[in-house]
Amino acid sequence: MTHPPRHLALATSATALLLLAGCGAAADKVAEKATEKAIESQTGGNVDLDADDGSFTIETDEGTYSSGTGKAPDSWPDDVPLPDGLEVQVGTESDTADGRLVSIIGTVSSTPDEVLADMKDALADWEISDEVTVTGSQGATTSAQFERDGRRVTFTATAGDDGVTAITLGETTLP
C-alpha cells in the first residue's frame, strides 16, 4: 500500500476544512480537530487549537510554541511592564533548549520616543546594551535592548501614518 504525498494530504485536509466552515459549532470543532491532526502529522508533535480564543500550542521533542490573540501570554514576566495603553494584537511564547522567548505585538497612541522613555524608566535597573532610532520618509523606528541576569528585553516601536505606534516587545531567557 502506498501513501499519498504529504502535500496532497495537506491539500485534502484544507479542502475538508473549507467545506466544513460555516456549518456551525459542531463543524468548527471537527475542523479544529482535523487541523490539529494535519499539523501533528507534519511536525510529529502535539497540537492544541482553540478557535474560540484564537490560540494554539505546538509541543514537540524540541520544545513548545504557543500563540494567542488579544492578550499578553500568561508567562509574561511581572518585572517587565507593558507600555501604557498597549492594545495587544498577538502574544507568543517559545520554549526550547536554546532558551525561552515571550513576545508581544501591539499598538499604542504614544510616539516611539515617548514609549522608549517610559520603557527606560520602567527598566532603570537593567543595562541598556543597544539603542537605535532611524527616521525616514516612512516615519520613525526606535529600538532598544535591555539586559540583566541572563535575560534580555528587546523593544521596537514604529510610528504609523495614522498616529498609532506599532510595538514589538520580547523577553528572552537564555539557558
Q: Residue 17: what pLDDT?
A: 42
Residue 52: predicted pLDDT: 58
∠ Cα 35 39 41 (to 5°):
115
- The whole-model pTM stands at 0.66
Give me the tens of pLDDT residue by residue for the chain, a chain 175 residues long.
444 333 334 334 444 444 444 455 555 566 656 666 666 566 666 656 555 555 556 666 666 656 667 888 888 999 999 999 999 988 888 877 788 889 899 999 999 999 999 999 999 999 999 999 888 877 789 999 999 999 999 999 999 878 899 999 999 987 6
Burial of residue 161 (number of CB atoms within 10 Å: 0-12, 13-18, 19+): exposed
CA-to-CA separations, 87 to 43, 91, 108, 136, 166, in angstroms, rounded = 32, 11, 6, 25, 10
CA angle centred on 111, ends 106 and 113, rounded to 5°: 110
Torsion, CA 111, CA 112, CA 114, CA 118, rounded to 10: 140
